[in-house]
Structure 1
């Protein structure tokens, strides 16, 4: 995916996915019930596909995520800065999402279309590790720095971390798994097209 127009198309699709799922659209609008937030998967996939644009694409996606949060919270008639989610730990979402982006970058660095099994294993390990770090930063900063947790303890933090880790990992893995299927499908179609062009010549 080195072509600029392909990258631009991927950027647009990922941005739309981030916005539509992070908005938590009601079931009456989506027709599918609650659609899980794809933000974590989006940052991982953006790191994979937009690696050459990271310098400006990562700030763009972070700004978009914060803007959506602002719209959702303000739309409920609540002051953004007083919402319980916007604690001092909220700003740890920057390094948390950067960890996901870095996981995508790492997976792309070792990706080879000729060695799909190895590449898939690298994607799986990179996703698991980056989600673990992201969750550590996002959940940990909220737990230890938010006034919502009156008496934080190490045991309480660990229970909270372990209770939520698998659900977050599962959602990210589903979206990334769908992206892998789409990626392989596009590659196969491209190969069929190339083979057809050669046969016509």
Structure 2
């Protein structure tokens, strides 16, 4: 589905808003609100493919800014927060994996068909697993907050602690995005068909 620049900007603004609202859950909102960041980067890669030169870095800057505001709002120095280590900067390639997964899906999808659904599942699973491996691995191996000694056995145990919740949360947001996408495509088809029959 071809989009105008205005539509792309609207999608970008909506995704940025969703990420901002859900990412502040660290302390400002109720803890049951799931962080949509992973889903946002995957959906942005799908919907905004070809705009990566500006959309991806702006979304990354937003993620860091929100983290900074939330952490400093808690009265903690940003650089001394538990989650901020040398591994924090590996969120760039981690989120990049999600963006590339969505972008790959956009390039290879074939409309609203079962084959597209199968591709979506594969793209999401591969990209979110890669994202999790990069983000978790960089934190575990580079953070001074992880107890010593660091071993592969304890890393694999650490990997498993948050693995399913991260995958499930991302799948929920991407699923909601997919439903919205289908509705918009069907509405556009209906509107186009109605316009043609009136002529």
- 1:100-139 to 2 correspondences below 5 Å: 100-113=98-111, 116-139=113-136
CA shift at 1:105, angstroms? 0.7
- 1:30 match: none
- 2:46 match: 48
Q: What is the rounded CA distance, in whole Å, between the counterparts of 2:81 and 2:193 in structure 1?
A: 57
Q: What is the rounded CA distance, in whole Å, between the counterparts of 2:128 and 2:164 in structure 1?
A: 10
- 1:7 match: 8
Q: What is the rounded CA distance, in whole Å, between the counterparts of 1:98 and 1:74 in structure 2?
A: 26
CA shift at 1:195, angstroms? 1.5
- 2:141 match: 144
Q: Secondary structure at the match of 2:51?
A: helix
CA shift at 1:125, angstroms? 0.6
Q: Stretches of 4+ moved more than 4 A in 1?
A: none
Q: What is the rounded CA distance, in whole Å, between the counterparts of 2:10 and 2:109 in structure 1?
A: 21
CA shift at 1:162, angstroms? 2.1
Q: What is the rounded CA distance, in whole Å, between the counterparts of 1:50 and 1:84 in structure 2?
A: 33
Q: What is the rounded CA distance, in whole Å, between the counterparts of 2:189 and 2:55 in structure 1?
A: 29
CA shift at 1:164, angstroms? 1.4
How much is the aligned-residue C-alpha RMSD, in angstroms? 1.2
CA shift at 1:180, angstroms? 0.6
- Could you list the runs of 5+ residues in structure 1 that have no partner in the other structure? 28-32
CA shift at 1:191, angstroms? 1.2
How many residue pairs get aligned? The number is 195
- 2:153 match: 155
- 1:73-92 to 2 correspondences below 5 Å: 73-92=71-90
| TM-score of the pair, normalised by structure 2 | 0.94
CA shift at 1:112, angstroms? 1.7
* Superposed CA offset, 1:153-173 (max 9, x none): 111111111221111010000
Q: What is the rounded CA distance, in whole Å, between the counterparts of 1:84 and 1:163 in structure 2?
A: 17
* Superposed CA offset, 1:82-136 (max 9, x none): 11111111111111111111111111110121x5111111111111111111111
**1:26 matches 2:26:** no
Q: What is the rounded CA distance, in whole Å, between the counterparts of 1:191 and 1:91 in structure 2?
A: 42
